[in-house]
């Protein structure tokens, strides 16, 4: 039991050192890049921004940190023949490294849980803090729309002259309601507002200052003016369907992304980007385990012909090519060259197979 504890402690210690150091460097580079912005802002905004940025930095850094930690800890033990001593006692290389592999699985699962529970809210706060500076011009966040239509489903279609996502209010609105493809009602409203849910009712839309037309089967049309008319329990449209304040997949968990895909499908829009993002949310975290396996295959056995620095260089080349293939796959999925599932998983399949081959050969030697 002493050796597994010794192995795990060396690995975890090195992992924490790399993570802390990488986060500090990451934050410093970002701070210097945005120094003009922060000079004009309160220190509270700076603190809130980097506190919200911390989960995303950890999410990005963890695969490389795992690789460096396994190379530095296990590789150093192999160089001092500690791994050879365990294997000469009759213990297989796989069983010796099993505690490290279990840590890789835990980190992968923890990364997924973090991306579902903490990362969306943290990224949303980070984007909101940066919204009022120069980055807003580079990547504006949509708060208002003009002259657009929205098809909620086969029964409801909207046209807005203007809509404000922050106020949840639209002007010069036309709402068409259908029954089995036949137009049965039309609402024209100067103003439409979203009334927030309370203890007595769910949220609903309220039409103000307009006309309500009913189209009967006999061809006649009735027109009724109104000052206010509530559409309680008549529509499934939610303000987030029109303008979602969380506009990037990084700000959403899997459930939110699925809901956004449903909205896009109902309105007839392209869903490839969001579908690729959904599959990526499920696949990205296994990179931690695959990279760890590659690192273990490279360094667990001592060889006179190749030093630790050479293995580190080869491993970094493999890891960064992994990142590159992953990004290429995502772009191909967004452009339709690959299915969203294959776009998100192909890099993990390729490098998981490579890690398996490398481990098999290193264990057999």
Which two structure tokens, joined as six digits, stand for 237?
A: 């449209």
Reference 4, options 74, 105, 81; nearest CA is: 74
Is residue 339 within 8 A of residue 280, CB to CB? The reply is: no
Q: What is the Rg, in whole angstroms, of the alpha carbon atoms belonging to the chain? A: 28
Predicted model pTM: 0.75
Could you list the mean pLDDT of each consecutive 10-residue stretch along the chain, which spans 365 residues?
79 92 92 85 87 91 91 79 68 80 92 90 84 52 79 83 88 90 91 86 88 89 91 82 75 85 76 91 92 87 65 85 92 90 94 91 73
DSSP H or E stretch at residue 230: strand 221-230
pLDDT at residue 138 in the model: 47
pLDDT at residue 344 in the model: 93
- C-alpha 212/C-alpha 188 separation (Å) is 7
pLDDT at residue 351 in the model: 94
- C-alpha 146/C-alpha 171 separation (Å) is 10
Is residue 250 within 8 A of residue 256, CB to CB? The reply is: no
Is residue 173 within 8 A of residue 145, CB to CB? The reply is: no
- Kindly list the domain boundaries of the chain, sorted by start residue: 2-133+273-364, 142-238
N-term to C-term CA, the chain? 26
pLDDT at residue 307 in the model: 66
DSSP H or E stretch at residue 214: strand 204-215
Which residues fall within 8 angstroms of residue 187, CB to CB, at 6 or more apart? 173, 174, 175, 177, 207, 210, 211, 212, 213, 229, 231
How would you classify the pairing of strands 182-195 and 204-215? antiparallel
- C-alpha 112/C-alpha 277 separation (Å) is 14
């Amino acid at each position: 039991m002493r050796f597994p504890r010794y192995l795990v402690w060396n690995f975890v210690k090195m992992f924490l050192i790399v993570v802390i150091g990488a986060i500090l460097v990451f934050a410093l580079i970002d701070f210097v890049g945005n120094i003009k912005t922060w000079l004009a802002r309160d220190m509270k905004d700076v603190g809130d921004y980097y506190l919200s940025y911390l989960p995303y930095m950890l999410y990005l850094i963890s695969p490389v940190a795992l690789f460096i930690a396994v190379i530095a800890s296990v590789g150093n033990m192999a160089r001092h023949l500690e791994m050879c001593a365990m294997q000469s006692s009759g213990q297989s290389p796989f069983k010796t490294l099993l505690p490290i592999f279990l840590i890789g699985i835990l980190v992968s699962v923890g990364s997924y849980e973090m991306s579902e529970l903490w990362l969306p809210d943290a990224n949303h706060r980070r984007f909101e803090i940066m919204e009022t500076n120069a980055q807003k011009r580079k990547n504006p966040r949509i708060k208002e729309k003009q002259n657009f239509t929205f098809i909620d489903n086969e029964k409801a279609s909207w046209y807005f002259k203007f809509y404000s996502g922050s106020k949840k209010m639209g002007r010069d609105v036309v709402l068409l309601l259908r029954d089995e493809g036949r137009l049965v009602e039309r609402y024209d409203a100067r103003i439409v507002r979203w009334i927030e849910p309370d203890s007595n009712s769910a949220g609903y839309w309220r039409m103000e200052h307009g006309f309500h037309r009913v189209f009967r089967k006999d061809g006649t049309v009735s027109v009724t003016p109104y000052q206010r008319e509530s559409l309680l329990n008549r529509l499934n449209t939610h303000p987030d369907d029109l303008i979602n304040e969380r506009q990037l997949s990084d700000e959403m968990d899997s459930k939110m992304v699925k809901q956004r895909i449903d909205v896009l499908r109902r309105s007839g829009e392209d869903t490839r980007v969001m579908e690729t993002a959904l599959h990526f949310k499920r696949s990205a975290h296994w990179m931690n385990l695959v990279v760890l396996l590659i690192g273990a295959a490279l360094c667990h056995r001592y060889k006179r012909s190749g030093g630790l620095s050479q293995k580190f260089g080869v491993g970094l080349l493999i890891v960064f090519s992994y990142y590159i293939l992953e990004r290429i796959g995502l772009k191909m999925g967004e452009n339709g060259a690959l299915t969203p599932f294959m776009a998100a998983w192909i890099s993990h399949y390729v490098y998981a197979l490579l890690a398996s081959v490398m481990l098999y050969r290193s264990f057999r030697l």
